[in-house]
Structure 1
Amino acid sequence: MDEDHLETAIGRFGKYQAFVYFLIAIARFPTEYQLNNVVFIIPKVEYKCLDNNLTNYCPCENPQYDTSSVVSSVTSEWDLICDKTSLASLAQSILHVGILTGSFLLGYMSDRYGRKTVVLMSLVLEILFVAISAVVPDFWMFLVCRFLIGVMVGGTMLSCYVLFIELCGKSFRPYFIGLQELPFIVSYVTLPIIAYFVRDWRPLQLITSLPWNVVIVYYWLIPESPRWLITVGKREEAIKVLKYIAKINNRPTENIEAIISKVEIANQNQQKTSTYADLFKTPKIRLYTMITAFIWMFCSHTFFGLNQYIGRLQGNIYLNVMLSASFFVPALILVIISTKYCRRKVSAISCFITAGVSLLVFIFVPNELRAVSLTFAIIGFTAAGVSFVQTYLFTSEVFPTVIRNTAIGFASMFARFGGFIAPFVVNIGIEWVSILIFSGIAFCAAALCLFLPETKDTTLPNTIEQRERAKA
Structure 2
Amino acid sequence: MTEEQNSNTEFGSQDSRDSHRHELSYPSQNWSLEMLLRRLKALDDRRDDKFASVLGAIGEFGTFQWRLVALTFIPSILSTFFLLSHHFLLTAQRPYCNTSWILQVGPNLTEDEQLNLTVPRAPNGSFLTCLMYIPVPWDLDSIVHFGLNYTETCKHGWIYPFAHTRSLTNEFDLVCGNEPHEENGQTVFLSGILTGSLLFGFLSDKLGRYPIILLSLLGILIFGFGTAFVNSFYQYLFFRFFVAQASVGYAICSVSLVMEWLVGEHRAQAIILQHCFFTIGVILLTGFAYKINHWRLLFLLGGVPMFPLICNIWVLQESPRWLMVKGKVEEAKKVLCYAAEVNKKTIPLNLLNELQLPGKKAKASILDFYTNQHLFKVVLAMGCVWFTVSYVSLTLSLKMKDFGLDIYFIQVVPCITAVPARLCCILLLEYFGRKWSLNLTLSLVTFTCLSLLFVPEELKSTTILMLVLGEFSMAGTVSIFFIYTAELLPTILRSTGLGMVSIAWTAGAISSLAIFKQTKTQLPIFFCCLCCILALCFSSLVPETGNQPLRDSIEYCSRDSLEHKDKSKDSSKVLMAEESMCDVAADSVLTKNTMFNAMTLKSETDSFLNMALEVPNRESPVQLPEDHPS
Offset of residue 448 of structure 1? 1.4
Counterpart Cα distance in 2 of 1:114 and 1:468: 24
1:222/1:35 CA distance change after superposition, 3 Å: same
The structure 1 residue matched to 2:70, chosen from 22, 27, 39, is 22
Match among 333, 339, 358 for residue 429 of structure 2:
339
Question: Aligned pair 1:271/2:362, yes or no?
Answer: yes
Q: Which residue of 2 aligns with 1:377?
A: 467
Greater RCO, CA 8 A, separation 6+: 1
Looking at structure 2, the residues matched to 152 and 187 of structure 1 have their Cα atoms a distance apart, in angstroms, of 17
Offset at residue 190 of structure 1 (A): 1.4
> For the Cα contact (< 8 Å) 1:228–1:402, is it kept in 2?
yes
Q: What's the Cα RMSD here? A: 2.8
How big is each residue's C-alpha offset from its partner over 1:393-447, in whole Å with a ceiling of 9 and x where there is no partner? Answer: 1111111111111111111122222234433444335153333333432332222
Tell me which moved more, 82-91 or 179-188. Answer: 82-91
Q: Does the 8 Å contact 2:434/2:546 carry over to 1?
A: yes
Q: Residues 84 and 365 (structure 1 numbering): CA distance in 2 closer, same or farther, change over 3 Å?
A: farther
- Mapped partners of 2:531, 2:129: distance in 1: 33
User: Which of 268, 274, 292 is the matching residue for 1:174?
Assistant: 268
Residue 239 of structure 1 corresponds to which residue in structure 2? 333
Change (3 A) 1:51 1:156: farther
CA distance in 2, matches of 1:278, 1:411: 14
Residues in 1 aligned to 2:186 and 2:343: alpha-carbon distance in whole angstroms = 44
> Structure 1 residue 309: deviation in Å?
4.7
Match of 1:292 in 2: 382
Change (3 A) 1:271 1:192: same
Name the CA distance, whole Å, in 1 between partners of 2:498 and 2:435: 18
Q: Which moved more, 1:244-253 or 1:461-470?
A: 244-253
> Is 1:259 matched up with 2:351?
yes
Give how far 1:19 is off: 0.9
Q: 1:172 to 1:80 in 2, by over 3 A?
A: same
Partners in 2 of 1:51 and 1:421 — Cα distance? Answer: 40
| Cα 1:312–1:128 shift into 2, 3 Å | farther
Q: Is the 8 A contact 2:196 2:249 kept in 1?
A: yes
Superposed CA deviations along residues 120-152 of structure 1, whole A, max 9, x for unmatched, are 110121121122223222222222111111110
Match of 1:162, as an amino acid? S
Q: Residues 197 and 502 of structure 2 are in contact (CA less than 8 Å); yes or no, is this contact kept in structure 1?
A: yes
For residues 361 and 73 of structure 1, the distance between their equivalents in structure 2, rounded to whole angstroms, comes to: 38
Q: Which residue of 2 aligns with 1:109?
A: 203
Q: TM-score, normalised by structure 1?
A: 0.89
Q: For the residues of structure 2 that align with 1:234 and 1:277, how far apart are their CA atoms?
A: 24
Distance 1:317 1:283, change over 3 A: closer
Q: Is the contact made by 2:393 and 2:471 (CA closer than 8 Å) also made in structure 1?
A: yes
The one-letter code of the counterpart of 1:462 is: D
Alignment of 1:59-458 (within 5 A): 71-80=165-174, 84-255=178-349, 258-259=350-351, 262-264=354-356, 267-272=358-363, 274-307=364-397, 309-311=399-401, 313-367=403-457, 369-428=459-518, 430=520, 432-458=522-548
Mark the runs of 5 or more structure 2 residues left unpaired by the alignment. Answer: 1-44, 97-118, 132-152, 565-630
Structure 2 SS opposite 1:414: helix
8 Å CA contact 1:124–1:215 kept in 2: the answer is no
Amino acid at match of 2:62: G
Match of 2:595 in 1: none
2:81 aligns to what?
Answer: 33
Distance in structure 2 (CA, Å) of the matches to 1:196 and 1:431: 32
Q: Is the 8 A contact 1:159 1:405 kept in 2?
A: yes
Letter in 2 for 1:39: H
Tell me, yes or no, if the aligned pair for 1:12 and 1:168 is still in contact at 8 Å: yes
TM-superposed CA distance for 1:234, in Å, is 1.1
By how many angstroms is 1:84 displaced?
Answer: 4.7
User: What is the rounded CA distance, in whole Å, between the counterparts of 2:94 and 2:129 in structure 1?
Assistant: 11
Mapped contact 1:102–1:154 kept (Cα < 8 A): yes
Q: What is the letter of the counterpart of residue 8 of structure 1? A: S
1:464 to 543, 550, 554: 554
Question: In the alignment, is the contact (CA less than 8 A) between 1:42 and 1:92 conserved in 2?
Answer: no
Q: 1:307 offset after TM fit, Å?
A: 4.1
- Choose 1 or 2 for highest CA Rg: 2
Any idea what the Cα deviations from partners look like across 1:184-206, whole Å, max 9, x if unmatched?
12112212111110143322222
- In structure 1, what is the Cα distance between the partners aligned to 2:467 and 2:236? 31
Change (3 A) 1:227 1:73: same
Q: How many residues align?
A: 466
Percent same amino acid among aligned pairs? 25
Moved more, 351-360 or 154-163: 351-360
Sort the Cα spacing of 1:311 and 1:67 in 2 relative to 1 into closer, same or farther, 3 A: farther
C-alpha distance in 1 between matches for 2:235 and 2:508: 24
Query: With structure 2 as the length reference, what TM-score do the two structures score?
Result: 0.68
Q: Measure the CA separation in 1 of the matches of 2:62 and 2:162.
A: 50
Provide the C-alpha distance between the structure 2 equivalents of 1:370 and 1:303, rounded to a whole number of angstroms. 19
1:216 deviation in Å? Answer: 1.8
Take 1:72 and 1:348, find their aligned partners in 2: how far apart are those partners? 43
